[in-house]
Amino acid sequence: GRPLTNALLFCGQPWCYVEASCRAHVHKSGIFPGHALYFSYETCNAADFFSSELLLDTLRGRLLRAGVPGTEVPKLVKPAAGTGRPTGYVAEFMDHLFDTVGATIQMQEISDDSKNEFPLSTYSACARDVALGRLDFCYGYFWETPQRLVATAFTPVFETDLFYLVVPGGDSQGAAGMIGKVFAPFSVGLWC
C-alpha cells in the first residue's frame, strides 16, 4: 500500500517486538488487548521520541526561561514586572506540568529587538525570542500562524477558536435582518 499522508510521527520510526525482560527501553503494546506484547525503538537503532518518560526527563530539573506576551482574562493574566508567574487557567495548567516534572521557571521580558521586529504582535515577538534561543517557551494562548510555525514548535492544540463570517445575501433583508434570524425561534408568535 501507499503510506498515509496523515500518519502519526511514530509510524515512520523503526521498532521491534521484544521480550519484557529486554534491557532496552521497552513499552507495553496496547494494540492487542489481552496479550502481553512489548516493543522497543532502541533495539532497531531508532530514537524513541515518543515516550512520555523520556520527554519528562528532558524537563526534569531544568531552568526554563519564559515570556508572557499579553493578558487574556481568564486564560492568562500577565504579572507586573518582577512579581512572579502569570495567572489564569492556561498559566496554571502549564505551571502544574512544570511543577510536576520539577522544572524551575525564570520569567523574562520579551526582547526589545523582537518587539521592534513585530510591533503589532507581542505574541509573534515572543515566538521569535523562542526561535532565537532567548526564551525556552512563552506562556500564552497562541494562534498558530504560518509565520510562527516556521519560527518554533507549538504544543498540541487544547482549545479552538471558531470564527463565523456573516455577509449580506441576495435577499432584501439586509445584514440586520440576517442577524435577527437567529432570534426567530424565540419570537412570541411562534410559541403562543
173-190 burial by CB neighbour count: b if 16+ within 10 A, else e? eeeeeeeeeeeeeeeeee
The cell for 21 is 525482560
- Give residue-wise pLDDT tens across range 108-146: 999 999 999 999 999 999 999 999 999 999 998 788 888
The pTM for the full model equals 0.60
Q: Look at the alpha carbons of 74, 75, 80, 84 in this order and tell me if their dihedral is positive or negative.
A: positive
pLDDT greater than 60 at residue 1: no
Output the pLDDT for position 130: 93
